Each structure stands twice: as structure tokens, then as C-alpha cells.
Amino acid sequence: MSSEDSRLADGEAPWIDSHCHLDMLPGWGKGEGDGVGPDDATCASEIDDLVARARAAGVGRMIAASCRPDEVPGLLHLLDRVPVLWSAFGLHPHEARDWGPQVEDLLLRALAHPKAVAVGECGLDYHYDHSPRDLQQVAFAAQLRLATRLDKPVVIHTRLAEEDTLRILDEVGVPPRGGVLHCFTGTLAMAQAAVARGLHVSFSGIATFPKAADLREVAAWVPLDRILVETDAPFLAPPPYRGKRNEPAWVVRVLEVLAEVRGMSMRDLGLAAARNTERLYRIA
């Protein structure tokens, strides 16, 4: 890949970070209002700076994901404040023990926002097992049904739980609007099973880690109309930023590395991933 073919014109910012988290920004939770949102002035200037840095790197749009009920008011606030931000709302498998009518009600209200584009993240995480597996499965199945009911795509987090993830998807049904396996770290067989079910596959900075050769092979296989890229910021900063707080601007590193393994220009991959994100989430 030459740097030539990826150079952006002044002000051009076509790339999209399809999955990040913003609740770790300094100042979040220190606001006067409900006490959980980014009302604080520090947070407001942090988010503006973060958006400006992303834009300077060519990343003009971003999709945030929520994991916990206490993030919801803050994210709704940001959706109104930041034009280039959209969001998914869901209950992370780590928090699945909290699933119930109250949480579902909160998500329903959040998902009524015009910039709420998906249900999630939800799914199964058998690596950490922060919630019992049976409750993770209940919350995942319920959120798949919610996505179908609301005619939205679903953002799926799955870790060391491929078999149960596919079983539940088949039992409950993939929402008609589809979805994405986000921050994919699974096997080629899992990526193939996801694509066969109409799902997208999204790669994060993990795919850029030196030891992730197998994952890069999976990324090279995923059909061009099904691939997404993300940072999952503030986690998983790609080299050379390891150890720092990750942010949407650095999705460029993911694009660079994946373009190389796919033997295409970063520009072509970035535009394809952006088109896929626009289509999946119906964002302009």
C-alpha cells in the first residue's frame, strides 16, 4: 500500500469508527444534572477534542455502544450534542444479571431516539463470566427479540462462546435487519457461520497486534460487503499507541493493517467499510 492512494483531500473524513465507548472520558459522571452524563465542562471539551482529532485523521463519524443502564442518559445527551455520533443501546453480557423489565424499559426509551441505530452491545462472554452463563443467555435472547421487534440491527459481543452464540441466534432468529459480531477475535469457522447468517464482522485494534496473525487471516477472508472496522475505544489501542487511551482517530491503524492483508488500498477498504456501516445502521 502506498501512502499516496490513501491521502485524503483537505477536510475529507470518510472513515467511520463503527464501535466505541465514550463513558470513560474525563469529566463523565461529574455533571450537575442526573449525575451520570457528560454535562461537565471538562467532558464537553474532551468530546469536542476527540471528534476534532478523529476528523483530522479522516474519521468523520462514529458509533458509540452502551453496556450498562447508567450510561444511557449521558449517551442520549451526547447524541443531541455531537452531530457525527450515533449509538447502540444494550446490556453487555458482563451486566446480564441485571436484565429485567426495568432495563428493557430503559432500553426501549433510549432506542426511540432518532440517532439510536442498533440494539447492543449484547451477547455472551465466557472469558470473564462476570454474570452467570444462563443469565447471559437469557439477556442475549431477549435483546435479539427486542431488535427484531424494533426493526433494528444487533451488535453482538461474543467471547469464548461461539457454540452458544450460534445456537441462540438459530433458536431465536437473526433480526431481519441483521447485525455485527463486534471486536471479532474468533475462528474462521465462526466468521463463516456469522456471514452465512447474514451478519457483518467487525475488527478492532486486536487485529493489528503482532501475535494476531490468525485473526488477520480471518479478516482477509471476510467478504468486502460484510466487513466493519472499529476501535472499541477506550480499550485496545493499536500499536504504536499501546497502553494509551484508545480513541476513534486510531481506527485508521486498523484500516491500514487490514488493507495490507487483503491486498487492497486503505482507501478502498475504508470506503467499503464505511458503506457497510452506513447500510447496516442506516446513517447518512
Smallest gap from Cβ 74 to Zn ion, in A, equals: 16
Q: Dihedral (C-alpha) 241, 245, 248, 254: value to the nearest 10 degrees? A: 30
Distance of CA 118 to the CA centre of its chain: 10
Q: Is the peptide bond between 210 and the residue preceding it cis, with omega within 30 degrees of 0?
A: no
Smallest gap from Cβ 127 to Zn ion, in A, equals: 11
**C-alpha grid cell, residue 78:** 451526547
> Which region, judged by CB under 5 A, interacts with Zn ion, from 76-84, 118-126, 199-207, 241-249?
118-126
Q: Look at the block and give the residue holding cell 447524541.
A: 79
Cβ-based nearer residue to Zn ion, 14 or 234: 234
* CB-closest chain residue to Zn ion: 157
Query: Interface with Zn ion includes 55 (CB under 5 A)?
Result: no
Q: Which residues pair with 158 in a beta bridge?
A: 124
Distance of CA 34 to the CA centre of its chain: 26
> Which region, judged by CB under 5 A, interacts with Zn ion, from 35-43, 109-117, 150-158, 204-212?
150-158
Smallest gap from Cβ 93 to Zn ion, in A, equals: 8
Smallest gap from Cβ 159 to Zn ion, in A, equals: 8
Q: Determine contact, residues 141/173, Cβ cutoff 8 Å.
A: no
Cβ-based nearer residue to Zn ion, 25 or 65: 65
Task: Work out the widest C-alpha separation in the chain, in whole angstroms.
Answer: 53
Footprint of Zn ion on residues 220-249 (CB under 5 A)? 232
Cβ-based nearer residue to Zn ion, 91 or 266: 91
Smallest gap from Cβ 206 to Zn ion, in A, equals: 11
Query: Interface with Zn ion includes 157 (CB under 5 A)?
Result: yes
Query: Interface with Zn ion includes 18 (CB under 5 A)?
Result: no
Q: How far apart are CA 133 and CA 246, in angstroms?
A: 29
- Give how far Cα 195 sits from Cα of 118, 148, 202, Å: 18, 18, 11
Smallest gap from Cβ 65 to Zn ion, in A, equals: 5
What is the DSSP pairing of strand 179-181 with strand 227-229? unpaired
Cβ-based nearer residue to Zn ion, 71 or 232: 232
User: What is the contact surface with Zn ion in residues (CB under 5 A)?
Assistant: 65, 121, 157, 232
